[in-house]
Amino acid sequence: MTRRAHSIQTKIIILLIAPITALVVLWAYAATVTLRDSLRLVRAETFDSKVVTPTTELIAALQDERRMSVAHLGDDATIGRAGLDAQRAKTNRVAAVFRASARDGDVRGATTADAWRQMATVVRLLGQLDDLRTFVDKDDIDRTQTLGRFNEMIDQASVIFDEVYPDDRELVRDARVLVAMDRARENLAREDALVTGALAAGKLADVEYLQFMRTVGAHRFMFEEAARSLPPEAQLRYRQIVTGKEHARFRQLEDRLMTLGRTGKRPPVDAGEWRTTTESVSAQLAGLTSDLRARNTHEASHQAAGVLIRLALAGGLGLLAIAISLVVAFRVGRRLIRESRNVAASMHAFTSERLPRISELARTGQEVTDDAPAADFTISEINQIDAAFTEARRAVVRAGASEAMAHQRLGEILINLARRNQALLQRLLGMLETMQRHVEDPDQLERLYELDHIATRMRRHAEGLVILSGRPAGRTWRRPVRLIDVARAATAEVEDYTRVEVVAMPRLAIHGRAVADVIHLLAELIENALSFSPSETMVRVTGQPAAHGFVFEIEDRGLGIPPETLVEINERLRKPSVLDFQDSARLGFSVVTRLAERHDIKVTLRGSPYGGVLAIVLIPSNLLAETTAGALPGGPQAPEAVPAPPPATTTATVVAHPATLGTAPPEGSAASLPSRRRQANLAPQLRRDAKAETQAGDTPPSPERSRALMTAMQQGWQRGRAEPGRPPAEDGTTNDG
């Protein structure tokens, strides 16, 4: 029985389980010893950051807004609307932070249920703040009521400071001193708001006077009580504040208001002096409170460090020994795993990606190089494996480079042979041209035409080799050629051209630079249709404009192609062409793919309603031209131009509509051939001017023109033999176009 394979990572993890387990047990014991202190510390820090701080900031913001609201009700000119709105915006921001803390789940675990409910109460009261502001803006509330509403919010917020976590009383002892100082400052702030409103209104009402008296007594008592619990350095600073010049002046103003403020007249205190003095004293006391809070935070941080030190000492000794072992094992194991995976990944990448790429480069004749980076392994056994694989990889790369060079040389040989064949065939076509000009016997001319047609097909196959090698075929046109003439020229380059029916097409043309390639592409598809359809059936070539160009359709009535094969062929026609020697039976598709890729022509095969195959060729708009008189003048084209195809087919349809090749013989002259007119059935691009011919002297015509001429002549002979007394059609067209 074969044992199940495991990765090297699994093996190493198994080796590390024992020390890791010991580490966990030791750490659990150490954590249990100090867990309670750590949790208590975390709760205290959370309570301070998410309860105390937001509450303190909220109280300060409400105090400032209370003073400014009361001053606004008293028509204090020094309190502008912009200042009040700015303070309200600040209060809103602070209240939003407080609401977020009240919804925070960490706060629930860091404080008591009573504190949590008290925070919810404050949030509910804050919801009434907008209504209170509206009353203040509309003067629908007096100063006393305004003070009462704000005081209620602040009092409820101050209650939160009394609710500390039960286990944290030692940690928050100093926080209680801060609470007492904050409450004393709150009474001082109430006094400031009360007096500010009275000064703005110009009088101190009896109710306000009584509140003023209670507030003064309350804040003086609270400050003295809180000062007794302050640390020594904080007590010293507090004494410096209360014995200072500003605080003495503040006491004088308070005493003056208590003595003379109830007379019903304007309070005997200047509003500016009151504001300046009060702000100075409040700022000094606020600074003292802020420093106390910073001191408490520092002590909490110091205590946190102590807890961490105890935790480290409790589990440090055992943890250190195990940690060292774990680090060493982890580093060695990680290196072993990494280098093993790198070797495996390198081999996999080469076999799955690089090796197919080398094969592809070699098959296409491109340069093959060894671009794999050099590896540096620290484990000797893995380094030996990589060295052996590197040597094998280099051998494969060398073999691929040799194969690529062989492919390149083979391609050059094919091009050389094809060019030689092209030259010989061109000479042969020229010789046939000369012979056709000097032979008058119809039978011999027909034989010469057959030889000419065979030579034309041979030239197409030679061009196919050149195209497969990635080079241009060699034939070019300087001017556009009509689509119907392109289709006829393609028909002339296939073997059984008499079975091809070229239907009339719109008066459009193809630019000369693409004529040769389009002719060759259509000829390959027509040849394929003829080869795979019965000899008694026709292959139909039609064409029509499309939104993105012009479409040729080549339809046969053969046995068709299986759907999966059609998908494979269409996929091959869409991909960049690569010569595949393993599929020599379909080299024609490789030629079509190369030509289509060169001019961005879309070729698609699909099933025909007649059971055969329909080839659709989309010529892009940039290859098309209008067949205007200026675009297609007469006269010879480039010497390498493709000839016009044989325009007729030896079928009953052709006989019913013969092409106009010359004047019909007289009635009753059954044995004679119809008389012929030179160039009567040639495409305008391929006709020669008689005047130009005279000037050319003895210069022989090109083989393409002679072959086109022989096409017309042979059809004339065939029609003459089939129907000796029938005149040609007047429209000069046949069913083949």
At 539-585, the pLDDT tens digits run 999 999 999 999 999 999 988 889 998 998 898 888 765 555 555 55
Q: Decide: 602 and 617 in contact? Cβ < 8 Å.
A: yes
Q: Output the average pLDDT for the chain.
A: 75
Coil, strand or helix at 193:
helix
Percent of the chain exceeding pLDDT 90 equals 14
Sign for the pseudo-dihedral over CA of 98, 103, 104, 105: positive
What phi and psi values does residue 159 have, to the nearest 5 degrees?
-60, -30
Coil, strand or helix at 171:
coil
pLDDT band for position 652 (50/70/90)?
very low
Q: How far is CA 314 from the centre of its chain?
A: 53
Residue among 288, 280, 213 at smallest CA distance from 247? 280
187-244 pLDDT per residue, tens: 888 888 888 888 877 777 778 788 888 888 888 888 888 888 788 888 888 888 888 8
The pLDDT score that the predictor gives to residue 393 is: 73
469: tokens are: 């090698």
The pLDDT score that the predictor gives to residue 545 is: 93
Q: What is the largest CA-CA distance in the chain?
A: 154
What separation, in Å, do the N-terminal and C-terminal C-alpha atoms of the chain show?
76
Whether the per-residue pLDDT at 682 is higher than 70: the answer is no
Point out the least confidently predicted range of 331-340, 465-474, 714-723. Answer: 714-723
Whether the per-residue pLDDT at 695 is higher than 70: the answer is no
Residue among 244, 211, 238 at smallest CA distance from 222? 238
121: tokens are: 């109460």
The answer to pTM > 0.85 is no
Given CATH 3.30.565.10, say whether it is the number of domain 428-722. Answer: yes
pLDDT band for position 283 (50/70/90)?
confident
206: tokens are: 């009896």
- How far is 395 from 406, CA to CA, in rounded Å? 16
Q: How far is CA 510 from the centre of its chain?
A: 39
Residues of the chain with CATH 3.30.565.10: 428-722
- How far is 30 from 301, CA to CA, in rounded Å? 21
- How far is 47 from 51, CA to CA, in rounded Å? 5
What is the bridge-based pairing of β-strands 613-620 and 500-502? unpaired
Q: How many CB atoms lie within 10 A of CB 229?
A: 15
579-626 pLDDT per residue, tens: 555 555 567 788 888 888 889 999 999 999 888 999 999 999 999 987
238-280 pLDDT per residue, tens: 888 888 888 888 888 888 888 876 656 677 788 888 888 888 8
Q: How many CB atoms lie within 10 A of CB 236?
A: 10
SS (H, E, C) 493-555: CCCCHHHEEECCCCCEEECHHHHHHHHHHHHHHHHHHHHCCCCCCCEEEEEEEECCEEEEEEE
